[in-house]
Structure 1
């Protein structure tokens, strides 16, 4: 789409860097919008205030490359929107423990949530996480990676599922909207990070 759009620019027109940049930004936004619409998001009411939300995206890179980005835990906050902090903590049994803080702004109200997660890796297949401390009654889920074979090479199907049980002080409708909005952006950010590192 970018090549098709920019190829229609008249090379004989006076060079205007601002106009050219604006056009390139517009095409990038259009591509991102198309990719966002390709992210599948599902919400399920499990029981009471518990919700299971899942999302899935296709990444045109090898599983090993996607795995490398996902397991660089302390770098996640550098490129995932609304993730303000992702830091490894000392685990009492020597495993992987992360502290993450998510931030969100809605209707001029700043909202943040903190979780401490224990991580269990199944090499190149899955990353399970479970909250051991934080701002929810419960928060657990899994990243899953599956190899794809496409006409133009190998790819990875990346899916994310989270089961969240908010405390009474957190409106469930607000939480649902935040997750439904953020998950496609987060998956797209991971895809873009993989592309940047391995293109």
Structure 2
């Protein structure tokens, strides 16, 4: 199945089989319905890097264009202050060929980062405005074996009416290749 395994397990409850798949470089993926016109997916991957190394790179949001080929722009507009409780504002632009047309989307996100030495680091993305009816994502980093387990969950409903099954299928196909690209860039950076 091209290096992708389907798994419906929480990140704290990995089976031995899934642990071996992760350590071999497979992306564990779970898709689920989300609204009549949206989709939701959770993907997990193992990185043979320390959590602090991964954190340093994934919080450099301008680098996300290297991880996600559909992104043409990823820019921090506001770094956060005491009033916004550390929230950053992020602007991203992407284009995606879908069926017979190409859609360009732009999105403004609030980004909340939290660092917990024992339980892991987390980034929460929430929609401020943009080409989606709703959008949210969470990226979690946890110590795992001799490296880091990255879990990325996203749920979204685009403003363009496309049936949920097609959105889920696009997510199922795109996210694993994006995460494989992310691993390639991250691991290459620390060689």
Q: TM-score range by the shorter chain?
A: 0.7 to 0.9
Structure 1 residues 112 and 175, CA gap change in structure 2 (3 angstroms)? farther
| Mapped contact 1:69–1:193 kept (Cα < 8 A) | no
Deviations 1:117-174 (A, max 9, x none): 100001251100101001111100200111112xxxx211101111212335344343
Asked if structure 1 preserves the Cα contact closer than 8 Å seen for 2:67 and 2:179, the reply is no
Contact 1:128–1:141, Cα closer than 8 Å, also in 2: yes
8 Å contact from structure 2 (residues 139, 152) kept in 1: yes
Give the structure 2 partner of residue 61 of structure 1.
49
Task: Give the superposition deviation at 1:63.
Answer: 0.5
Greater Rg over alpha carbons, structure: 1
**Which structure has the highest helix share of the two?**
1
Aligned pair 1:73/2:61, yes or no?
yes
TM-score normalized by the length of structure 1: 0.73
- Residue 125 of structure 1 corresponds to 121
2:188 to 172, 175, 196: 196
Deviation at residue 187 of structure 1 after TM alignment: 1.0
Q: Deviations over 1:96-137 (max 9, x none)?
A: 111111211234521222111100001251100101001111
**Pairwise CA RMSD:** 2.1
Q: Aligned to 1:77, what secondary structure does the other structure show? A: helix
Instruction: Name stretches of at least 5 consecutive residues in structure 1 with no aligned partner.
Output: 1-32
Cα distance in 1 for partners of 2:33, 2:99 equals 25
Q: Deviations over 1:174-198 (max 9, x none)?
A: 3222211111111111111111111
CA contact (8 A) 2:139 2:151 kept: yes
SS in 1 for 2:189: helix
Secondary structure of 1:191's partner?
A: helix
Size of the aligned set, in residue pairs, is: 162
TM-score by length of 2: 0.76
| Paired residues of 1:166 and 1:172 also in contact (CA < 8 A) | no
Q: Distance in 1 between matches of 2:163 and 2:129?
A: 20
Change (3 A) 1:113 1:172: farther
| Offset from partner CA, 1:31-90 (integer Å, 9 cap, x none) | xx54x5621121112443343211111111111111111111012113422111101113
